[in-house]
């Protein structure tokens, strides 16, 4: 997801002016474990937005933290379609 979608110029160009991005990491290997304070914050995010434990999970929130849409699994339709989905959701939220 990072390489194919989030690091694409299409997504970066849109996100720069329209989104606030947050990546919550949940490393499996103990050697990659997070500092306790960051792990606690990420666990709270997981409890709130991913109680099913889906991986990977991308969540689009509004400015109040309300879930607008979730994408479970790897997005395979390309960065242009991903950005277009977000734009459509944004357009619908203003109607």
Residue 93 pLDDT greater than 80, yes or no = no
Binning pLDDT at 50, 70 and 90, where does residue 4 land? very high
Spans of all domains in the chain? 2-93
Residue 41 pLDDT greater than 90, yes or no = yes
* Rounded percentage of the chain residues whose pLDDT exceeds 70: 98
Residue 67 pLDDT greater than 90, yes or no = yes
CATH of domain 2-93: 3.40.30.10
What is the value of pTM for the model shown?
A: 0.85
Contacts by 6-15, CB closer than 8 A, 24 or more apart: 8/79, 10/79, 10/80, 10/83, 11/79, 11/82, 11/83, 14/83, 14/86, 14/87
Q: How much is the pLDDT for 95?
A: 62
């Amino acid at each position: 997801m990072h390489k194919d979608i989030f690091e694409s110029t299409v997504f970066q160009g849109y996100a720069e002016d329209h989104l606030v991005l947050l990546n919550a990491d949940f490393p499996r290997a103990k050697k990659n474990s997070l500092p306790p304070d960051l792990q606690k914050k990420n666990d709270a995010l997981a409890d709130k937005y991913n109680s099913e434990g889906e991986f990977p999970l991308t969540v689009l929130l509004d400015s109040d933290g309300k879930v607008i849409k979730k994408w479970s699994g790897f997005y395979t339709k390309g960065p242009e379609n991903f950005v277009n989905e977000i734009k459509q959701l944004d357009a619908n939220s203003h109607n």
